[in-house]
C-alpha cells in the first residue's frame, strides 16, 4: 500500500491529475506529510508570506542574516506548499502539454513534495532568474554550498540524484539536527 492510499482525498486528487499508483511506485518517491505548525520565515518582494516549520524558519532567518552580513542576499521564492497548490503546479504543466513522466522530473506529485514538510525553500538572489540552473553560478549558491550545513540546510536535488528530479541548485531543505 502506498502512503497516500490511507488518505482518500489525496488519492482522489492524484487520480484527478492522472497520477497512477503504478507511476508513483515506479518513481519511488518518499511520501511527505503536510506540516501542522508553521511560522513566518519571511515576506517576499511580491508581498507573499513564506511559511516554514518554526525550527526551520528560525534557522532560515539566522542563515539569511549571516549571509547578508557577508554581503550575500538570499530570498525565499517558495517555502511551504499545501497539496492543492502542488496540484495546481502539476495542472499548469499539463496545460502546457507536458507528459506526466516529464512533469515528475520537474515537480513532485501532491503528497510527495518536500515543500509539504515546511522544511524546504526555493532560494534566489537579486539578478538571477528564479528556479533556474544558472543559480549555481551565483555568489549566493557558493555561500550556501559552504555555509548552509551549519544552519541545518542541505541541497535536496544535486545532479544525478536518486529520485530522478532535475538538478535544482535553488532547492534546499532543513534537516533537524543536521547542523554541521
Domain of residue 59, residue span: 3-174
Could you tell me if residue 76 is inside a domain? yes
pTM: 0.93
- pLDDT tens-place values along the chain, 180 residues long: 566 666 889 999 999 999 998 999 888 889 999 999 999 999 998 999 999 999 999 999 999 999 999 999 999 999 999 999 999 999 999 999 999 999 999 999 999 999 999 999 999 999 999 999 999 999 999 999 999 999 999 999 999 999 999 999 999 999 987 665
User: What domain count does the chain have?
Assistant: 1
Could you tell me if residue 180 is inside a domain? no
- The CA-based angle 128-132-133, given to 5 degrees, is 105
Looking at residue 84, which CATH number applies to its domain? 3.30.1380.10
**Residue 128: CB atoms within 10 Å:** 18
Could you tell me if residue 179 is inside a domain? no
Amino acid at each position: 500500500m502506498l502512503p497516500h492510499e490511507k488518505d482518500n482525498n489525496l488519492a482522489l486528487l492524484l487520480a484527478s491529475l492522472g497520477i497512477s499508483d503504478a507511476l508513483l511506485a515506479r518513481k519511488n518517491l518518499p511520501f511527505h506529510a503536510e506540516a501542522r505548525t508553521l511560522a513566518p520565515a519571511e515576506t517576499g518582494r511580491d508581498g507573499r508570506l513564506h511559511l516554514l516549520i518554526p525550527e526551520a524558519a528560525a534557522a532560515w532567518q539566522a542563515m539569511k542574516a549571516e549571509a547578508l552580513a557577508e554581503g550575500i542576499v538570499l530570498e525565499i521564492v517558495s517555502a511551504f506548499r499545501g497539496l492543492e497548490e502542488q496540484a495546481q503546479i502539476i495542472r499548469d504543466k499539463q496545460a502546457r502539454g507536458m507528459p506526466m513522466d516529464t512533469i515528475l522530473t520537474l515537480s513532485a506529485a501532491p503528497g510527495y513534495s518536500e515543500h509539504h514538510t515546511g522544511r524546504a525553500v526555493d532560494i534566489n538572489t537579486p539578478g538571477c532568474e528564479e528556479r533556474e540552473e544558472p543559480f549555481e553560478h551565483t555568489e549566493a549558491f557558493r555561500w550556501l554550498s559552504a555555509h548552509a550545513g551549519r544552519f541545518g540546510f542541505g541541497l535536496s536535488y544535486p545532479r544525478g540524484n536518486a529520485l530522478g528530479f532535475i538538478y535544482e541548485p535553488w532547492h534546499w531543505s532543513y534537516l533537524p539536527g543536521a547542523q554541521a
